[in-house]
Structure 1
């Protein structure tokens, strides 16, 4: 990551337009995003000297002490520079400050790169939502040559 680019995270207000291009990097359809986005706190990350957001996350209060990352994405141009890890660190800090005890996130069963990313950032595997991608998306979704079926859950204690 270019250390000369300080990053900042800003919560979007309910009236601001959503950067759907970023949200669609982490979710397959606008319809799927619409199911959770208006019940989530949406944060966008900016870097100095870059006017457009470089990353996004949507956080959903699952229980009084558990927040779920419903969407997290880094603009493809900036991936591989540590911004996703920085964003997870910021999410954990926000969650701690809000009194949450745990952050959970789910990703596709064939999303091996994402599995590794969450494990590297202090998450542990915590469960499976069986047939999630079969039941929640009208068309089959493929990743790494495999049809997505289950959602693998990860959690981080705060």
Structure 2
């Protein structure tokens, strides 16, 4: 097994926008949540290969606001490692729910989260229309709604 290290970034550290932008369209969108999130970097050797931003929605719910893996490490189980770590972090801090939102056109992402124990919980109608200046397309379709998925940590 290769050696990966997950490290929480210190407050005031430079925000790793180059990684965060792999999962979110604009710096402006990232800035809406990043300053109130805990940012974790996954290292392999000396390279940052993935990022995860966790945001407290309530006393019981932690949300994955951003999760991205660099292209050369995709499809190798890194996303599942991050999800497992997010579940552990949430449990250790007393949260009972881990949430994530993704585009209605993000078919691979939805399947990935469901494979990792998440269930569809709701929809934020027109999220990508109202929160981004320009239309965003994925899988040949315009992103419109955000699909909310949750994982019950109390089980």
**Common fold by TM > 0.5:** yes
When normalised by structure 2's length, the TM-score is 0.97
Q: Name stretches of at least 5 consecutive residues in structure 1 with no aligned partner.
A: none
Secondary structure of the equivalent of 2:89? helix
Q: d(CA) in 2 for partners of 1:84 and 1:78?
A: 9
1:106 aligned partner: 101
How well do the aligned residues superpose, as a CA RMSD in angstroms? 0.7
| Structure 2 match to 1:139 | 134
In structure 2, the partner of 1:12 is 9
Where does 1:77-116 land on structure 2 (aligned, <5 Å)?
A: 77-116=72-111
Shift of 1:14: 1.5
* CA distance in structure 1 between the partners assigned to 2:87 and 2:3 by the alignment: 19
Q: Distance in 2 between matches of 1:35 and 1:62?
A: 14
Of the three residues 35, 53, 65, the one matched with 1:38 is: 35
Relative to the length of structure 1, the TM-score reads 0.95
Deviations 1:21-52 (A, max 9, x none): 110011000000001000001001112x2x22
Counterpart secondary structure, 2:21: helix
Say which of 139, 144, 148 aligns to 2:143.
148
Deviations 1:90-120 (A, max 9, x none): 0000000000000000000000000110011
Give aligned pairs, total: 153
1:129 and 2:119 equivalent?
no
Q: Secondary structure at the match of 2:90?
A: helix
2:142, 2:8 → 1: CA distance? Answer: 34
Question: How many Å separate the matches in 1 of 2:10 and 2:32?
Answer: 18
